[in-house]
Amino acid sequence: MIQLQQLPPLSLYVHIPWCVRKCPYCDFNSHEARGEAPQQAYVQALIRDLEQALPQIWGRRIQTIFFGGGTPSLLEPALLDQLLAQFRALLPLALNAEVTLEANPGTVEASRFAEFKASGINRLSLGIQSFNDDSLQRIGRIHDAAQAKKAAEIALDTFDQVNLDLMYALPQQTLQAALADIRQAIALKPQHLSAYHLTLEPNTAFHHNPPPLPDDDTSATMQEAIEDMLAEAGYGHYETSAFALPGKQCRHNLNYWQFGDYLGIGAGAHSKLSFPDRILRQARFKHPATYMQSTETNTHIESERKLTRNDLGFEFMMNALRLTNGFPVALFQECTGLPISTLDKALRQAEAKGLLLRDHLTIAPTQMGQRFLNELLQMFLEPD
């Protein structure tokens, strides 16, 4: 049994499960929209889902909303408007709530972006991946480099807060090509950049049929050079893959990494919800049709589990140690209800191996800890 003195900040995640085409590296819960996706019915299901979840978040204010996917920019603007209007009617939203929408450059039109903004979207996250036509083709994207650049320009003209997603260590990519992508991204002056090392996820076309990838040494060199280039351009490296201009960090993702709460609605969405005496994780049914149907009978939650003391230590660290500057020691007890001494043995072990630094106020991964994050996290798997 744990006891929380106060509940952490609460975010809302909304999953939109369709894409124009499935990318061969992607293991997100996204499905090719063959023909017309049943958008109207899905929006109704999302609203039912939220209504049924309300008792679990009663009275709590939503700090951030994130429409993720899939490709949320495929949503008809009128439907997104309807959704946001319902959210406002059902939930207390913080005055300055951050409201992000993910978009694919192949689905961008200036007029759509203007409509999204008018509905209340104030941050846009664009899946650029690369500005190189060959790279884009090799990773099966639906857009080319010119469309990627144009989409970023429209996004930056429309929104005050824009993130560009880039991936590196792409098939046959050279160090020069990876750095040219970052240089082009910086030239566009987005407020936020995410640079992900391409990973071969199980159950993807790339996993079954691996393309020729840069070797480990080359991709490590890419990572270092990318970090240096972004630092020089004024982007602070605040999480494993996230970089931002001062004050422009993504508040929604920060809430995940600081072990805040989130209600996830939509197909396959995950939630983490705290109550004074317990913390729950939930997952909704993954398949859009199953999900939509089961919202009619309030049976759309496929699994729910209460986190144990051991889960809490590990799961907190799995998130918070992604943050380059670590976390305030007091945050651990605030979010888990457990004293930091629960982790003493693992903390001492990690410190002795040079993977972690701590003083009375802060716990942070060292540079080596950031590089070998999995080894560092292993130590928190079975605390005493």
Ligand X SMILES: C[S@@+](CC[C@H](N)C(=O)[O-])C[C@H]1O[C@@H](n2cnc3c(N)ncnc32)[C@H](O)[C@@H]1O
Q: Do 347 and 356 touch, CB atoms closer than 8 A?
A: yes
Residue 28 vs 372, nearer CB to ligand SF4: 28
Asked if residue 268 binds ligand SF4 (CB under 6 A), the reply is no
Build a one-symbol-per-residue string for 48-87: x at contacts with ligand SF4 by CB under 6 A, - elsewhere.
---------------------xxx----------------
Strands 192-197 and 161-168: parallel
Asked if 286 touches ligand SF4 (CB under 6 A), the answer is no
Look up residue 20 and give its amino acid.
V
Q: Tell me the C-alpha distance between 320 and 337, whole Å.
A: 16
Helix H, strand E, coil C: the string for 266-303 is CCCCEEEEEECCEEEEEEECCCHHHHHHHHCCCCCEEE
Cβ-based neighbours of 88, under 8 Å, separated by 6 or more: 120
Name the residue type at position 145.
Answer: A
CA–CA–CA angle 44, 48, 54 (5° rounding): 145
CB-wise, 29 or 258, nearer to ligand SF4? 29
Amino acid identity at 298: N
Question: Which single residue brings its beta carbon nearest to ligand X?
Answer: 127
Residues lying near ligand X in the complex (CB under 6 A) = 25-26, 28, 68-69, 71, 102, 104, 127, 129, 165, 167, 196, 198-199, 201
Q: Is residue 152 within the footprint of ligand SF4 (CB under 6 A)?
A: no
Q: Which of 127, 214, 313, 337 binds ligand SF4 (CB under 6 A)?
A: 127
Shortest Å distance, C-beta 68 to ligand SF4: 9
Which is closer to ligand X, CB of 206 or CB of 291? 206
CB of 24 to ligand SF4, least distance (A): 9
Altogether, the residues listed in the chain come to a count of 384
Q: Please give the span between the terminal C-alpha atoms of the chain, in angstroms, as a whole number.
A: 16
Q: Which of 19, 162, 170, 250 binds ligand SF4 (CB under 6 A)?
A: 19
- Tell me the two tokens of residue 271: 């939630």
Instruction: Give the residue with the Cβ less far from ligand X, 12 or 198.
Output: 198
**Interface pick for ligand SF4 out of 28, 79, 281, 333 (rule CB under 6 A):** 28
The CB density around residue 359, as the number of other CB atoms within 10 Å, is 8
Q: Which residues pair with 61 in a beta bridge?
A: none
Ranges of beta strands (E only) in 55-118 are 62-69, 93-103
Contact status: 347 vs ligand SF4 (CB under 6 A): no
Q: Is 23 in the site for ligand SF4 (CB under 6 A)?
A: yes
Number of residues that bind ligand SF4 (CB under 6 A): 11
The item of ligand X, ligand SF4, none sharing an interface with residue 173, based on CB under 5 to 8 Å by kind, is none
Nearest Cα residue to 102 out of 145, 155, 150: 155
Question: Choosing among ligand SF4, ligand X, none, which partner's interface includes residue 372 (Cβ < 5 to 8 Å by kind)?
Answer: none
State yes or no: residue 104 binds ligand SF4 (CB under 6 A). yes
Q: Is the dihedral of CA 34, 38, 42, 43 positive or negative?
A: positive
The least distance separating ligand SF4 from the CB of residue 26, rounded to whole angstroms, comes to 3
Question: Does 184 engage in binding with ligand SF4 (CB under 6 A)?
Answer: no
Give contact residues for ligand SF4 (rule: CB under 6 A).
Answer: 19, 22-23, 26, 28, 30, 69-71, 104, 127
